[in-house]
Structure 1
Amino acid sequence: MTTALVTGAAGFVGFHAAKRWLDEGFRVVGLDSVSDYYDPALKEARLDILNGYEGFSLVRDRVEAPGVLNDLMAEHAPRHVIHLAAQAGVRHSIDAPRDYMSANIQGTFELLEAARAHPGAHLLIASTSSVYGANTKMPYGETDKADTQMSFYAATKKATEAMAHSYAHLYDLPVTMFRFFTVYGPWGRPDMAYFKFVKAILEGQPIEIYNHGNMARDFTFIDDLIEAVWRLSEVRPMRPGSDDRVAAHDSLSAVAPFRVVNIGKAAPDRLGDFIAAIEEALGMNAEKVYKEMQPGDVPATHSDTTLLRDLTGYACKTPISEGIPRFVTWYRAHYGV
């Protein structure tokens, strides 16, 4: 069986990615420390599902632990490495920046060193729409300059893009970086706003709405994101030759087999509409408390996904009117509400 290595396999996106690769007939080796950044029981429940597959195995260790990824690459020679292990969260990066240095910077370095020693895999590495930072031109395009990150989380992710590009150039490693836009859906992260909103409303607690509700996000349903990643896994970047013509909007590097791709719905929703969809799905109204913008946050995100469509023929399309009820159905079932 062909092998895929998924870092962060017990996480939200990692779980869904591992499951998709297993469903496609791959053997999947997962790496996850099952940290307590949020409820480990939720992570264990995801792993229980993955463990139901004969082709799944898990190594419980930190992605930044020296030698762990090197040993896994040497032993399993994966066709794809889906690198999703990271310390997530914009707001937490203000309180615990060292966690981001360790998991995001050091963890990605360990991956790149392992890939250099054991080449052959397509490296599929998660970045974030947060790297666009203070950019005001929208929609965000992959070739836009992105040097004004607003949080340390975003800064570490932009750093991993630069790190991966240098290794792609020096060692001819095929790398595709994904800039994810506000992913949501079943088995999601409890620190995300939509998860908090559903929990609070069901418990009769008020919800906090930042920037007085003047926010918009390119909310991307998890199934759409995984489909995009799956399709891009077989689109290996190639170092362009001197005669190759590359479209102006293609982020393919001129000096490396390296590309950045936005994955988003390309249609932002107002935060108020998002909350209204949650209220409708729950059949309950929220008590709303309006607050100022939090440090490190941005008022809006909007993806240009022309490159994704050109490379794969696919476009993320699930509206919040469909995605939110699917999350609420999962939440009620999982927590017995």
Structure 2
Amino acid sequence: MYTGSDAVVLATRQKEGILTAEQVKMSFDSVSGRLVRETVREGDEVRAGDVVMELDATDNTLALARIDAQLAQIEAQIARTKTAMGISLEQVDTNETQSFRGIDRQRAALDAARATEANSARDYERMAALFAEGAVSKEALDNAEMRLSVARAATQQQAQNLAQLLGGAADTGNTESISLPTIEQARRSAANMGNDVAALEAQRDMLLVQKKELEVARDRLVLRAPEDDKVLKLLAKEGGMISPGRPVVLLESNRDYYDIYVSEDQVRGIHEGDRITGHAVAGDREVPGTVRLVTKAPGFADLKMSREKSQADLSAFQIRIYVDPTDGIIPGMTIGVSDRAFTQS
């Protein structure tokens, strides 16, 4: 189908490709700053997790210290507010107990005043009866009347004192069941301090999130190798300012591949995951590998003919094959694949 001697025809016919190592461009993730340390040189082998570069962490360290100080301050405020709330609630309970005892004493005083008033009323009635019979003088009757008036005034005063202690609460006769408005208001005010504690705890949680973000950013200031690779090129120098996402190191991985081009007829028998054995042009050594990509080749690989709208009459397909580690096979070598290899895949 393909005739001629141009590069595309030859590539499709011979099915050879240059062995290429995957390259990894490393960059700092979402952080920027001044590059203060390089731990590798071009050509060095690195292991996964090895430190490659570091950015200046001064700003991050200061921010973390500031967050820690704010957290310590809020923790102190939380502890102080909780203590004050506990003391206030205890004081309310104490005041309630004292108020109940005062009510009991005042109720007893009122009962005594009422008893005195009742005795004075009986004494006055007796004096009035005796005065009517002429047995006592008018002065004695007046004295009895005065004692009754004093007793009534004392009863009223004691009743007012009891009402003042009750503060508008109904006197049920059972002191422990009385709900004193002033005590309940003080208890609600003390309990409301719990809202202040909740607000402080919310601020603390927000600061903890900010601290976690700073800790993540601090870790990102240290660039580590993602896998066992070789340093091809350092794209930044110590002292330079680095922006987020800017490539700073170029690594060469241990994953080697080569691309070949096949015709429409040949691509039908090739699938991703198929095993393909190629041969190194130098030394004719077998190079086993696995097909990882089967796709239409880019436009430069199409055989341009006379189809309308500049479409290709014939299309080539790109096959990418990742090779197994093989002694003596290094990037840059030419790997060829025979037609027979496709029928055996």
TM over 0.5: no
Larger radius of gyration: 2
Query: TM range, normalised to the smaller chain?
Result: under 0.3
Q: TM-score, normalised by structure 1?
A: 0.18
Higher relative contact order (CA 8 A, sep 6+): 2
